[in-house]
């Protein structure tokens, strides 16, 4: 059986085509992948929700104030200007570039850490991850397999023993290892092909001439290994006749054997022999070794039966050194790790213990056969337990695991490398393909490619994803606060019949000028100290949360508005203005008061951008100047403020007037109160003061 799309490197043969297009194996996978809907990222959902809320607020206020202004006797054009002012004040114009910058910078940092992001908004999805479904070989382990143990003649032997090559039956073991094998060695002595088969060749080359053995035993038939049969059989012709060789999962090999090779003699395979073999199989697997059974027979009639058992080979694939720390990070971050492997359950559990994924007796293990038998309700119950290992799993089982986890409310990141993994990778919230061992189909279906096939890289990427989400939230908290001092002047103008404290032009200069660069600086803020100590954010948590709205609109925004009105009225009264007096828009006193209101917003926004840099940690501890982009944004903000206030050429454009140092400093106490008041709030949050953490932690 060959699949469409198979590349034949050498040789010739005749093939009978019995299926084309969607009727092929590749076609079935393509159809399943096509039918699997791409899951919208949590960030996309949250941004859509945020846009709807802000748009509703902006349009509602704009229409309301247009009607109020018009009914109050204002001209149509004046009412229209007020409505536009309200709309402009509410819309965060810098959201798109900030989100793009956050994601782009995170993608760049992740690429340096060997994680290649294909879809920008997938960066944040990693931060929302609650479950990581990972392969074992090459992801948790080094994919550097070597033969470690032999079980022959009912005895366990270490491959480093000096007389290992002298034991009875060793020549048969070499024949099976070399002839029932599709890997090959290159001129440098490295293997090309499957790592397990490569390990057998690398071991055999120290005891036999592989090229000579292969030439002397022509292969005339092959039943290849696959995840269902779990065995490989080759039929070879030599000068001594035709022989068949078998390797694969020990339990499968034993079913096909009727004899066992003991001290060079072929004797019947009894129940005692089988129990001893299975006992040592479990023993080797419990040490984390990958086990293969080896057998042979003379002739090739009834090719699936009457084999002679020769040996078990135990291979070790050491865990990556950085994996235990990565697993520990996942635990502290509240992320569950599910291992999905084709290996025996004992082997999988042993590796899980070595990397700190489970402790003794903690693992909840399910095999591929179990998966075929249980219904979705039982599977959900199993997956809710945590510390899950899916052993003897076929690639097709991954999709069911992913969809079941999503059905119980988890945000799932899944790894894969094969063509059959494509549906699971596409359906997962975050699909991660292997860059080294992965197929092009898997990489195409995935959202991220691991350039080093390393699980620890996923955990590093999760940290980046959480930081991205926090940075977007910081940006929103920052830009929303200035909405209040931009909106309240129009409300006060309509309700209290005072000169308009802020013009539409100055609002635009705040939103598109002074606010933009500091906000972009927040987009590249580094993570806080406890970013991987917090559980994943709940699915129901909104980007625009009630706490964030309350902090931005109800506290910080109100303080900024208070600073603006304080500066505005102080200057008016110092100039002799009395309540109810109308001022011309060209009156120097009015221009100076408007400029003071505008300056107050910018000065308070400097304090605001500093407090928005952290959500729990003290910004003093993090360093006021540690984010050079924010510092650059503040400097540009002050330069723009100085240009608008003191440059005579910009006065007509912006409707401003020069201020004295005293007039400019009227809002500084408010800015200091914003900064130190928020530092105290964060201190209370770190001290776990329940009320503050519940209602004032955005």
CA distances (Å), origin 674, targets 110, 424, 679: 35, 48, 9
Q: Kindly state the average pLDDT of the residues 295-300.
A: 90
**Cβ–Cβ < 8 Å for 623, 525:** no
Structure tokens at 164: 């290992």
**Mean pLDDT of the 144-152 span:** 92
Q: Which CATH class is domain 482-526+542-695?
A: mainly alpha
CA 390 – CA 469 distance, rounded (Å) = 31
H helices, E strands: number in the chain: 30, 19
Among candidate residues 223, 238, 237, 218, the one with its CA nearest the CA of residue 304? 223
More confident position, 490 or 148:
148
For the domain spanning 127-142+319-459, the CATH number is: 3.40.50.1000
Residue 134 vs residue 125, higher pLDDT: 134
Q: What top-level class would CATH report for the domain 147-316?
A: alpha beta
Residue 19 pLDDT level (bands cut at 50, 70, 90)? confident
Strand partners, 133: 338, 414
N-to-C CA span, the chain: 59
Compute the CA torsion angle 585, 590, 593, 595 (nearest 10 deg): 40
The mean pLDDT value of the chain amounts to 87
Q: Which residues pair with 129 in a beta bridge?
A: none
As a whole number, mean pLDDT of residues 1-16 equals 74
* pLDDT (tens digit per residue) in 22-49: 888 777 777 766 666 666 666 777 778 8
Query: What mean pLDDT do residues 80-100 have?
Result: 74
pTM for this prediction:
0.72
CA distances from 318 to 147, 202, 314 (A): 12, 17, 13
What pLDDT digit, counting tens, does each position of 312-342 carry? Answer: 999 998 888 889 999 998 988 889 999 998 8
Contact 340, 401 (CB under 8 A): yes
Residue 475: name the closest of 190, 228, 698 by CA: 698
Task: Name the more confident of 568 and 472.
Answer: 568
657 has pLDDT over 90: yes
Integer angstrom CA distances of residue 522 from 7, 511, 640: 50, 15, 19
b or e along 115-149 (b: 16 or more beta carbons within 10 Å of the residue's beta carbon)? bebebbbbbbbbbbbbbbbbbbbbbbbbbebebbb
Res. 311 pLDDT band, cuts 50 70 90 = very high
Distance CA 285, CA 287 (A): 5
Residue in 639, 410, 598, 418 with CA at minimum distance from that of residue 503: 598
pLDDT in tens, 603-624: 999 999 999 999 888 999 888 8
Q: Give the residue numbers marked as catalytic.
A: 135
Q: Which residues contact 695 (CB under 8 A, 6 or more apart)?
A: 547, 550
Question: Which pLDDT does position 613 carry in this prediction?
Answer: 92
- Between the alpha carbon of residue 665 and those of residues 280, 376, 588, the distances in Å are 82, 66, 19
CATH topology match: 127-142+319-459 vs 482-526+542-695: no
The average pLDDT across 644-654 equals 92
pLDDT-derived band of residue 270, with 50, 70 and 90 as boundaries? very high
Tabulate helix, strand, coil % of the chain (nearest 5): 55, 15, 30
Segments making up each domain of the chain, as ranges: 127-142+319-459, 147-316, 482-526+542-695
Mean pLDDT for 639-649 is: 93
């Amino acid at each position: 059986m060959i699949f469409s799309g198979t590349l034949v490197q050498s040789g010739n043969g005749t093939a009978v085509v019995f299926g084309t297009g969607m009727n092929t194996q590749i076609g079935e996978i393509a159809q399943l992948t096509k039918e699997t809907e791409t899951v919208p990222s949590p960030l996309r959902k949250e941004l859509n929700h945020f846009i709807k809320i802000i748009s509703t607020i902006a349009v509602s206020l704009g229409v309301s104030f247009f009607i109020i202004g018009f009914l109050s006797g204002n001209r149509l054009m004046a009412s229209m200007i007020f409505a536009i002012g309200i709309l402009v004040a509410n819309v965060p114009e810098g959201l798109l570039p900030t989100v793009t910058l956050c994601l782009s910078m995170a993608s760049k940092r992740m690429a340096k850490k060997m994680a290649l992001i294909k879809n920008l908004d997938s960066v944040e999805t990693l931060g929302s991850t609650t479950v990581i479904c990972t392969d074992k070989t090459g992801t948790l382990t080094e994919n550097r397999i070597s033969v470690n143990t032999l079980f022959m003649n009912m005895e366990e032997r270490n491959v480093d023993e000096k007389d290992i090559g002298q034991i009875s039956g060793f020549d048969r073991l070499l024949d099976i290892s070399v002839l029932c094998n599709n890997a090959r060695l290159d001129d440098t002595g490295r293997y090309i092909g499957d790592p397990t088969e490569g390990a057998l060749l690398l071991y055999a080359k120290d005891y036999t001439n592989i090229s000579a053995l292969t030439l002397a035993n022509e292969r005339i038939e092959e039943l290849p290994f696959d995840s269902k049969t779990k065995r490989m059989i080759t039929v070879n012709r030599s000068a001594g006749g035709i022989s068949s060789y078998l390797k694969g999962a020990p339990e499968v090999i034993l079913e096909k054997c009727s004899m066992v090779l003991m001290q060079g003699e072929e004797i019947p395979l009894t129940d005692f022999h089988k129990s001893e073999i299975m006992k040592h199989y479990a023993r080797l697997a419990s040490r984390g070794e990958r086990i293969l059974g080896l057998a042979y027979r003379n002739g090739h009639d009834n090719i699936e039966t009457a084999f002679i058992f020769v040996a078990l080979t135990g291979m070790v694939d050491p865990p990556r050194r950085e994996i235990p720390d990565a697993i520990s990070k996942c635990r502290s971050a509240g992320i569950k790790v599910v291992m999905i492997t084709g290996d025996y359950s004992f082997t999988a559990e042993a590796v899980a213990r070595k990397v700190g994924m489970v402790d003794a007796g903690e693992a909840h293990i399910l095999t591929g056969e179990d998966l075929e038998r249980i219904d979705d309700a039982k599977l959900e119950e199993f997956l809710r337990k945590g510390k899950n290992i899916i052993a003897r799993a076929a690639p097709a089982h991954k999709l069911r695991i992913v969809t079941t986890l999503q059905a119980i409310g988890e945000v799932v990141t899944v790894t894969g490398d094969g063509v059959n993994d494509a549906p699971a990778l596409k359906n997962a919230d975050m699909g991660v393909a292997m860059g080294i061992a992965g197929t092009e189909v898997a990489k195409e279906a995935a959202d991220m490619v691991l350039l080093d096939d390393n699980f620890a890289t996923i955990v590093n990427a999760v940290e980046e994803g959480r930081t991205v989400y926090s940075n977007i939230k910081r940006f929103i908290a920052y830009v929303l606060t200035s909405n209040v001092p931009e909106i309240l002047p129009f409300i006060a103008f309509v309700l209290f019949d005072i000169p308009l404290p802020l013009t539409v032009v100055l609002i635009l200069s705040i939103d598109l000028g002074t606010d933009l660069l500091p906000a972009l600086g927040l987009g590249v803020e580094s993570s806080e100290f406890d970013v991987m100590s917090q559980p994943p954010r709940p699915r129901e948590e909104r980007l625009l949360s009630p706490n964030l709205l309350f902090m931005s609109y109800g506290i910080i925004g109100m303080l900024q508005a208070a600073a603006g009105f304080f500066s505005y009225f102080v200057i008016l009264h110092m100039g002799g203005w009395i309540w109810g007096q109308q001022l011309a828009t060209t009156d120097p006193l009015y221009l100076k008061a408007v400029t003071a209101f505008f300056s107050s917003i910018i000065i308070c926004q400097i304090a605001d951008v500093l407090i928005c840099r952290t959500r729990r940690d003290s910004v003093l501890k993090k360093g006021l100047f540690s984010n050079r982009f924010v510092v650059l944004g503040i400097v540009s903000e002050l330069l723009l403020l100085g240009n608008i206030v003191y440059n005579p050429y910009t006065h007509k454009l912006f409707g401003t007037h020069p201020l004295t140092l005293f007039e400019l400093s009227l809002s500084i106490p408010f800015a200091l109160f914003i900064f130190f008041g928020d530092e105290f709030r964060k201190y209370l949050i770190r001290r776990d003061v329940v009320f503050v953490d519940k209602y004032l932690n955005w």
